[in-house]
């Protein structure tokens, strides 16, 4: 069964995030059903200044997901919306998975980053 995933991340890590989000495109003959997922996360192109509007957008995006995957970079820990998404995943009794992405090269520095605090 394919899982419906909601990705939570710090927008400053968007290039690394896209590497992870597009990982399902890797071709694995005979394993196609094991390498795919449905992405239910929200693209950050929707910039809302109204906190209640953003909360509704997050809740709506998360409601049909089965798992929340937090893509953890150096500064993810202090992002209030990531914290909110983690809290909602617990409230909704969704699966919760953290993936450390600092091992992926930064697109400008061409090197991996240090671990967060």
Q: What is the pLDDT of residue 45?
A: 47
Name the more confident of 58 and 105: 58
Whether the CB-CB separation of 71 and 8 falls below 8 Å is answered with yes
What does the pLDDT look like over 18-71, one tens digit per residue? Answer: 888 777 665 556 665 655 566 666 655 455 567 888 888 889 889 889 999 999
- DSSP code, position 11: G
The CA-atom distances, in angstroms, between 55 and each of 74, 90, 94, 108 are 24, 15, 17, 32
- Give me the mean pLDDT over the 78-94 stretch: 94
pTM of the model: 0.77
What is the DSSP track for 35-78? S--EE-PPPTT---S-HHHHHHHHHHHHTT-SEEEEEE-TTGGG
- Model confidence at 102, pLDDT cuts 50, 70, 90, reads confident
Q: Has residue 117 got a pLDDT over 50?
A: no
Residue 38 backbone dihedrals phi, psi, to 5 degrees: -95, 130
- 37 is written with which tokens? 């997922």
Whether the CB-CB separation of 65 and 30 falls below 8 Å is answered with no
Q: What is the pLDDT of residue 75?
A: 85
**What is the distance between the alpha carbons of residues 97 and 37, in angstroms, rounded to a whole number?**
14
Q: What is the pLDDT of residue 15?
A: 81
């Amino acid at each position: 069964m394919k899982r419906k995933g909601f990705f939570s991340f710090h927008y400053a890590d968007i290039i690394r995030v896209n590497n992870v989000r597009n990982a399902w495109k890797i071709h694995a003959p005979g394993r196609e059903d094991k390498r795919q997922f449905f992405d239910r996360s929200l693209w950050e192109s929707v910039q809302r200044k109204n906190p209640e509007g953003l909360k509704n957008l997050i809740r709506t995006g998360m409601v049909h997901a089965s798992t929340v995957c937090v893509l953890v970079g150096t500064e993810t820990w202090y992002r209030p919306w990531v914290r909110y998404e983690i809290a909602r995943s617990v409230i909704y009794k969704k699966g919760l998975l953290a993936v450390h992405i600092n091992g992926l090269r930064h697109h400008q520095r061409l090197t991996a980053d240090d671990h967060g605090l």
